[in-house]
Amino acid sequence: DAKTTQPPSMDCAEGRAANLPCNHSTISGNEYVYWYRQIHSQGPQYIIHGLKNNETNEMASLIITEDRKSSTLILPHATLRDTAVYYCIVRPRGGSARQLTFGSGTQLTVLP
Amino acid sequence: DSGVTQTPKHLITATGQRVTLRCSPRSGDLSVYWYQQSLDQGLQFLIQYYNGEERAKGNILERFSAQQFPDLHSELNLSSLELGDSALYFCASSPWEGQLASPLHFGNGTRLTVT
C-alpha cells in the first residue's frame, strides 16, 4: 500500500474551516484515499473516501489533486467535537486483503 | 452508531489468563477485522475473516487466535496474557468483497487491562 504523510498536529478555530493535508505521492491508479478520525479512544470513524474526483458528504469534503499525489480533507465549520486524530489512508481497490493500514495521523485541536 | 457491536467494553484480568472478545458485525457485512491499539503502537491490524474464512493476517501473536462463526459474529481469543497485551481491541466490518471500495466500520472497542 502507498504510504501517507500527514502533519502531526494542527489547530483550528471553532466555526472556521479545518483543512487537513495528506501526501500520498506513491499512490497507484487502483488505490483509493480514505479518511477516518478517532475521538479519544473511541473506535475510528469513517469520514469519506475517493479515487480521483472530489467528494462531499454530510461530514466533510475531500479534494484530491489532479495528479493524485496529495489530498485535503475539509471540515467546513469545525466544532469542538471535531477535535480528534485524523487518519489519511490509501487502500487498494482489489485484492483479498482488505484491511486498512493506519499511520500516525494528524491531531486536530479545535479551539474555542 | 457504526452498527458494529463489541463486548465486553472493559475487561480486567491477570497475567497468564485467557479471555475472549466478541464482535457482531453490521447487518449484511461479511468481513470482520480485528485491530489492537496500545499506547505506544497505534492501530495495528491483527487478522481478517470473510464469511467464516481467514483472509489476511497482520501482526497477530501466536497466543492470539480468532474465528468467525456461521452467524458472522467473530471472537478474538487471547491466551497466556502478558502485561503488554493491555490495549484497546477494535473490531471492524465491511460488506461482501464485490463492493471493493466499501469502507470499514469500527466498533467502540474492548479495553483490556492485564494486571
Whole-number average pLDDT of chain A: 93
Per-residue confidence (pLDDT) for residue A97, from 0 to 100: 61
**Residue in A38, A96, A98 closest to B94 by CB:** A98
Which amino acid type is present at position A112? P
A78 to chain B nearest CA, in Å? Answer: 21
Q: What is the mean pLDDT of residues A63-70?
A: 96
How many CB atoms within 10 Å of residue A13? 11
> Does B88 contact chain A (CB < 8 Å)?
yes
A4-14 pLDDT, tens digit per residue, is: 999 999 999 99
Q: Distance between CA atoms of B37 and B51, rounded to whole angstroms?
A: 25
Place of cell 501526501: A23
Q: What is the mean pLDDT of residues A79-103?
A: 86
What is the enclosing helix (H) or strand (E) of A92?
A: strand A84-92
Do the strands B64-68 and B74-78 form a parallel or antiparallel pair, or are they unpaired?
A: antiparallel
Statement: residue A96 has pLDDT above 70: no
Q: Could you tell me which of A87, A71, A68 has the C-alpha nearest to residue A27?
A: A68
**Residue in A43, A49, A94 closest to B90 by CB:** A43
A20-57 pLDDT, tens digit per residue, is: 999 999 998 888 999 999 998 899 999 999 999 899 99
Contact A2, A89 (CB under 8 A): no
> Does B25 contact chain A (CB < 8 Å)?
no
Per-residue confidence (pLDDT) for residue B96, from 0 to 100: 72
Per-residue confidence (pLDDT) for residue A99, from 0 to 100: 82
Contacting residues of A for B35, CB less than 8 Å apart: 102
Q: Distance between CA atoms of B87 and B100, rounded to whole angstroms?
A: 30
Per-residue confidence (pLDDT) for residue B87, from 0 to 100: 97
Per-residue confidence (pLDDT) for residue B98, from 0 to 100: 62
Q: Give pLDDT < 70 ranges for chain B.
A: 97-100
- Residue A91: pLDDT band (50, 70, 90) is confident
